[in-house]
């Protein structure tokens, strides 16, 4: 067996075809193999029934299928489904299916852990262990798509890269996963059904513009002055609001795609009308909409959800300035599946189970 087996889903069809040809296999098998990997989402070469045993054995010797497996699944009172996906022997990531009357949304992870340490986010307490591959990201979507069909008899309508990790710090694999999700050889979804959420990395937002991406961009803002944003998001110290404004303007000029600003509203921190005024001033830099998000408490943090009347006044003020505003209510709180709560408690359980077996 080749000790340096490659991830087969990192190969393009053309690369795989050339590799097969150079090893005396028909190059047309590459498309069949890719169909099994992406469209049918198989986890082994033995499941590829139409390629022959010799080729199956050759692929096993030279490639790995980086398939995730379902470790645990919980269903909330509001029908939100949280899945813990085992991605290797030591790591688990979480993905969430969020059903509403109008949408069926998959919230997926792009990294094992996170390096940004935002103070209000449970995932930020975890160390970054590694990036997920394009295939591992895709598998989450594939599974949640099946859950939507099986549990609720509805098709998956939207995908948000808002789970564990910072997508723009795993740029290549995230964009590759989106390409396969949107490809007719994959899931065939429209890029306009996909939203990538970032904590704000200016140079990578500009790169999205240079690449003229067709999916949606959301910025986790949460404060529209640098002093406050620095307190809750370390990334702002190296990517301040001026640099983000420039990057977003550049992104819009390149893509003509409206930006979403996400604003978690905290009691006594960023819930005053003066904060709303600062938000409105910043948001004028590009055509946008604003999502005001309920804060979901995590253990050991002093933040609290803003009072409902404050939230309503905040939203009404922004609407009075002709801004598009949505107040997002939390889903899946009872199973720690809501925004900011993906702390991967299942990982600790998984590791403890393994220690007991040793």
Owner of token pair 């993906």: 342
In order, the DSSP letters of 225-281 are: SHHHHHHH-GGGGTS-HHHHHHHHHHHHHHH-PPEEEEEEEBTTTS-SHHHHHHHHH
Q: Is 10 a catalytic residue?
A: no
Active-site residue (options: 94, 166, 262, 294): 94
- Residue 83 is among the residues annotated as catalytic for this protein: no
DSSP-based helix, strand, coil % in the chain, nearest 5: 45, 20, 40
How far is the C-alpha of 168 from the C-alpha of 181, rounded, in Å? 17
Contacts of 98 (CB under 8 A, 6+ apart): 80, 104, 105, 106, 107, 331, 332
| Pairing mode, strands 130-131 and 111-112 | antiparallel
CB 108 within 8 A of CB 159: yes
Pairwise CA distance, residues 79 & 317, whole Å: 33
- The tokens describing 234, both together, are 């370390």
Q: Yes or no: say if 73 and 81 are a contact pair by the CB < 8 Å rule.
A: yes
Dihedral class, residue 344 (left if φ above 0, else alpha if ψ from -120 to 50, else beta):
left
Contact, 217 vs 251, CB < 8 A?
yes
d(C-alpha 327, C-alpha 183), whole Å: 32
Please tell me which residue in 107, 114, 118, 339 is annotated as part of the active site: 339
Instruction: Report the SS3 class of residue 8.
Output: helix
Work out the number of other CB atoms within 10 angstroms of the CB of residue 354.
11
Which residues are designated catalytic? Answer: 94, 339
């Amino acid at each position: 067996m080749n000790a340096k087996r490659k991830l087969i889903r990192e190969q393009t069809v053309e690369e795989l075809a050339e590799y097969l040809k150079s090893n005396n296999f028909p190059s047309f098998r590459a498309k069949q193999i890719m169909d099994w990997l992406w469209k049918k989402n198989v986890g082994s070469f033995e499941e590829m029934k139409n390629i022959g045993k010799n080729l199956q054995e050759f692929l096993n010797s030279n490639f790995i299928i980086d398939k995730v497996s379902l470790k645990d699944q919980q269903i909330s009172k509001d029908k939100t489904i949280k899945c813990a996906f085992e991605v290797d022997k030591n790591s688990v990531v979480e993905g969430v299916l969020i059903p509403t009357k109008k949408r069926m949304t998959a919230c997926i992870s792009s990294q094992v852990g996170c390096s940004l340490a935002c103070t209000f986010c449970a995932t930020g307490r975890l160390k970054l262990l590694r990036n997920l591959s394009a295939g591992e990201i895709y598998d989450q979507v594939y599974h949640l798509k099946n859950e939507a069909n099986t549990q609720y008899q509805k098709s998956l309508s939207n995908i948000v890269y808002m789970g564990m990790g910072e997508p723009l710090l795993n740029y290549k694999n995230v964009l590759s996963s989106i390409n396969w999700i949107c490809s007719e050889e994959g899931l065939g979804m429209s890029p306009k059904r996909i939203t990538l959420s970032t904590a704000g990395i200016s140079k990578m937002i500009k790169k999205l513009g240079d690449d003229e991406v067709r999916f949606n961009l959301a910025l986790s803002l949460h404060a529209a002055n640098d002093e406050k944003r620095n307190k809750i998001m370390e990334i702002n110290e190296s990517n301040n609001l001026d640099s983000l404004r420039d990057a977003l303007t550049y992104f819009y000029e390149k893509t003509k795609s409206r930006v979403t600003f996400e604003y978690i509203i905290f009691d006594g921190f960023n819930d005053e009308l003066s904060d709303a005024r600062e938000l409105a001033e910043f948001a004028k830099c590009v055509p946008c909409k604003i999502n005001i998000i309920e804060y979901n408490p995590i253990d050991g943090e002093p933040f609290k959800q803003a009072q409902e009347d404050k939230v309503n006044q905040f939203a009404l003020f922004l609407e009075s300035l002709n801004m598009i505003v949505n107040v997002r209510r939390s889903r899946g709180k009872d199973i720690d599946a809501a925004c900011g709560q993906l702390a991967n408690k299942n990982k600790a359980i998984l590791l403890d189970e393994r220690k007991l077996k040793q």
